[in-house]
Amino acid sequence: MNYLEDNLNMPLSDILAHMQRRILRESTYFGIPTLKNPMDFWVYRELIFETRPDVIIESGIYAGGSTLALGHICDHLGSGRVIGIDPRMEYVPPAVHEHPRITLLEGRSTERFDDVKALIEPHGTVMVIEDSSHTYDNTLAVLRCFQELVKPGDYFIVEDSICGHGLDAGPSPGPYEAIETFLEENPHFESDRSRESFLITWNIKGFLKRLET
């Protein structure tokens, strides 16, 4: 066990590695594995309260801990729904399947795009959280596919751009490089780096805000 008072001079790279191990091995929500940096997820709560999306799309849910947490946030707000997409739902417990604000779709996100779009009202506001395969090609494909659902003032969040940029983990190139490519080719989005105000984030440059057009 590491304690804060014994590690005040620990290098940031070691802190990040320690946090990653904790996130991957132990982090849960209502007992369900939840592979999220808790500081980033706090920012998600702030963004959801500010923007009040009608639909939150979570691409890549694993066991669904964060999906359930998003559903509970919508419960507290009294509005909003969550669409969770994943190639495999075998790890997702009944508590997630049965939540009335959650709809689960099995398959690759880009392959289920038409099904997702059909579940959203034409004027509905949308937040997208991309946490599926962290390859460059997949991340960029999801960005290109789902960006049309995000309206001005709303957010498309790309997770785990810390891969290769703070953590020696994940594919290279990966989400960080996909974000840069997407922003170069799409003037309708900007990286809102004010959302990285905790400093330690797994989503470097990944809080993408749709601009007014």
Tell me the CATH number at 53.
Answer: 3.40.50.150
Contact 155, 127 (CB under 8 A): yes
Query: CA torsion angle for 46, 49, 55, 56 (degrees, to 10)?
Result: 10
Is pLDDT above 80 for 213? no
Tokens of 117: 């779009």
Domain that holds residue 21: 4-210
In DSSP terms, 83 is beta-bridged to 57, 103
Per the structure, the count of domains in the chain is 1
pLDDT tens column, 49-75:
999 999 999 999 999 999 999 999 999
Average of per-residue pLDDT across 1-20? 93
Say what the pLDDT of residue 196 is. Answer: 98
